[in-house]
Amino acid sequence: MNVNTQMKQQTVLSSPVKVADNTEHETIEFAELWRVIRSVLVVWAVGVWLLLVMMPGVQQISDAASAMLHVPHVLIGLVLIGAIFAAYNLRSDGHMLWFLGVLLLLAGWM
């Protein structure tokens, strides 16, 4: 209860200018954070491809027929990585998240 009361008092007494400043600051912080997250997501996608798409794909290859079944999907994962890079460069976050989601589906499937 004490905590809540203090918070109310703080909110009431604080300057509206300061409140506006804080909101803007939070927005800027989120933009900065998102920039970092985008880079992390790209690195993560490369890791996912290496560990969950390429390695299982290669492990399942035993002859020409199995190679024909699994190699295209390993390359499809690689193309998704390329598309993620392109989306990252174009700052097209919607595309980037979409490609990343499908890469994860592919990783689970492999």
User: Within 45-84, which residues bind another protein (CB under 8 A)?
Assistant: 64-66, 68-73, 75-76, 78-80, 82-83
In the three-class reduction of DSSP (H, G, I as helix; E, B as strand; rest coil), residue 62 is classed as: coil
Q: Which amino acid is at 38?
A: R
Q: How many whole angstroms separate alpha carbon 51 and alpha carbon 41?
A: 15
Q: By CB under 8 A, how many residues form the interface with another protein?
A: 34
Asked if 35 interacts with another protein (CB under 8 A), we say no
- Cβ atoms within 10 Å of 45's Cβ, excluding its own: 23
By CB under 8 A, name the binding residues for another protein: 34, 64-66, 68-73, 75-76, 78-80, 82-83, 85-87, 89-95, 98-99, 102, 105-106, 108-109
